[in-house]
Amino acid sequence: MEIKIRKFIKEDIPFKVEWINNSENNQFLHYNLPLDIDKTFSWFENIQNREDRLDFTITCNGTPVGIIGLLNIDRTNKKAEYYITIGETSFKGMGIAKKATELLLEQAYEIYGLNKVYLFTEVENIPAQKLFERVGFKKEGLLKEDIIHNQRKLDRYIYGILAAEISREVK
């Protein structure tokens, strides 16, 4: 199984829309659903020259299976927020998310010179927490009623991993 991450391209938009709109994938995502293809094309055009985010497509043997990236890239403080979604449900549970995360973290530290990557996850999202911890993220705290989504106040954990930790965890 060959797992790669590549730059998210315009041709990936229909995959993203399908994956995010799939109820098996979006329980813990905070999009305004359903995701609309025209609005997603507009979003894509708007992010092209932004330097505060990196968006990638995860491929397995050349087939697009998910999305991964870094948001809120802060070059001054050398940190960014991580996200991932395995969209093709038949590819879940195969270790693809772990490998894609390792590839992204390697780039974050080696190519982009970041010192820290962090993420937020809902307290109830146990499968994601297991992935994050397997890769080496450490739970740093609980954010009570951190966001409101669909009129629900949600508690979230914040996780982080430092460059010094990733070199031991991933390599």
pLDDT score at 167: 52
Angle at 17 between CA 57 and CA 154, to 5 degrees: 90
Q: What's the confidence (pLDDT) of residue 170?
A: 45
Q: What's residue 168's pLDDT?
A: 46
Q: How deeply is 34 buried, as exposed, middle or buried, from its count of CB atoms within 10 A (0-12, 13-18, 19+)?
A: exposed
For 9, the token pair is: 């391209």
* Domain 3-169 CATH (choose: 2.60.40.10, 3.40.1160.10, 3.40.30.10, 3.40.630.30): 3.40.630.30
Low-confidence ranges of the chain (pLDDT < 70): 167-171
Token pair of 169 as six digits: 């965890």
The residues near 153 (Cβ < 8 Å, ≥ 6 apart) are 145, 147
- Look at residue 40 in the predicted model and tell me its pLDDT: 94
